[in-house]
Amino acid sequence: MSFFLRLLLLLAPLFLGGCFFEKPLTSGPSESLNTWFVGEWQRTEKNGGTSRALVTPAGNDLYRVQITFSEKGAKTDYDFEAWASKVGDSTFLTLRSLKTTPKVPQGAFVFIHPEMRDQNQIRLRQIRLDSPVTATSKELRAEIRARLKDGTLYAEEESCDWQRTAEVYWQKDGVTGVFNPLRYEKRWQTEDLRGTFRPQQQPSKSVGLHR
């Protein structure tokens, strides 16, 4: 049994419905960056706390997702690399944990279905999967297709809506393909990780969001 699997089994009671897996839905992005997902997001939890997320581009087809969850009076920071994974006609997000937290080990994968409700609201839907944590990407996609067909994939009662509180502006360097943010509303403490960047606060200027 691999160390990763032993760690998952040890932490299983902390996981949300066994939603973490060893393998991604797809090994890489199925489509390019969706700029509607980029920005700073916020939601009010049932306990009255405020959770925040910052989604920034980490390339042409990768996202950096930094989340601060307010849970039972405590705050927990999560850091993910994410990409779009197509299964049939549906698009999901594959998120890979970049660090170990009390609930998510580094390298674990979690999948969600994003749905833009309007320009400044996104609904994230968890998906129900009975596959073991060791399931292959092919096996995971097969179960998703089957559940899409019989209508049992989405855990609607666990869906959550996030409101956009700020946009992230950037310009694309045509030579290197690196995104350089021009402005954002909140300072975030980030680490320089492979395939990511450190946002820098810039003087406010009137620049449109390129979509």
Which burial class, exposed, middle or buried, applies to 121 when counting CB atoms under 10 A from its CB (0-12, 13-18, 19+)?
middle
Considering the chain, what percentage of its residues have pLDDT values greater than 70? 70
Tens-digit pLDDT profile for residues 97-121: 999 987 789 999 999 999 999 989 9
Kindly report the pTM of this predicted structure.
Answer: 0.75
The beta-carbon contacts of 115-123 under 8 Å, at least 24 apart in sequence, are 116/36, 117/161, 119/36, 119/164, 120/163, 120/164, 121/161, 121/162, 121/163, 121/164, 122/36, 122/37, 122/41, 122/161, 122/162, 122/164, 123/159, 123/160, 123/161, 123/162
Are the beta carbons of 183 and 200 closer than 8 angstroms?
Answer: no
**Domain locations along the chain:** 3-27+38-183
The CATH architecture one would assign to domain 3-27+38-183 is Beta Barrel (2.40)
